[in-house]
Amino acid sequence: MIGLRPDLAVIAQHVAPGSKVLDVGCGDGALMLALRDKRGCDARGLEIDPANVAECVAAGLSVIQGDADTDLAFYPDGAVDYAILSQTLQTTMRPRLVLDELLRIGLKAFVSFPNFAHWRVRLSLLWGGRMPVTRQLPVAWYETPNIHFSSIDDFRALVREMDVKVEDAWFLSGNQRRSAAAANLRAEHAIFLLSK
């Protein structure tokens, strides 16, 4: 899985070979291609940006142009083994609803998101008094597509409240793994594998 974004590489390594996958917010299809070509998966995608959809279709992937907030409703229950939402949760209007939908459509769900409680973000806000612009959050507040920021602990609290089971979790700072205990302070990125 060389060349994949670190969170996508983690997901690609942990999807069971030959499984059926829906990648919500699949972007240019990099993860889908890896899953199809290296893991023999039947991968489908949902993507909001038409230029990205055109890239995916041109690469031979099955991708529907649509919006995670509205179009997941059209997918049947238990349609796939894994529903994947990478770096998209924070851009949705109703993150909790989207998580519900993921776990309705997929038997399991991979969710990756940037950790807003990483120490660099905390420092930036504490000392600078300005909304942070970091490696993981590179866009100024007025242009960012991210509308629902959360920390890793926020996410843990939400899945507890939703009665969702955390099957596994990975925490990254760049390419480096971080421990679960230190994650909320030291990880830039979290990846959770969830089930109902």
The contact set with another protein (CB under 8 A) reads: 42, 44, 50-51, 53-54, 56-66, 71, 74-76, 79
- C-alpha 170/C-alpha 156 separation (Å) is 13
Pull the structure tokens for residue 73: 């409703």
Least Å distance, CB 79 to another protein, is: 7
For CA atoms 63, 64, 68, 71, the dihedral sign is: negative
Least Å distance, CB 82 to another protein, is: 16
Nearest CB to another protein, comparing residues 61 and 164: 61
The residues, ordered by sequence, that sit 6+ positions from 4 with a Cβ below 8 Å of its Cβ are 12, 30, 31, 34
Nearest CB to another protein, comparing residues 65 and 144: 65
Least Å distance, CB 81 to another protein, is: 13
Least Å distance, CB 5 to another protein, is: 23
Least Å distance, CB 114 to another protein, is: 28
Nearest CB to another protein, comparing residues 20 and 96: 20
- C-alpha 154/C-alpha 22 separation (Å) is 25
Torsion of CA 81, 25, 76, 154, to 10 degrees: 80
Q: How far is CA 153 from the centre of its chain?
A: 16
Nearest CB to another protein, comparing residues 68 and 183: 68
Nearest CB to another protein, comparing residues 42 and 154: 42
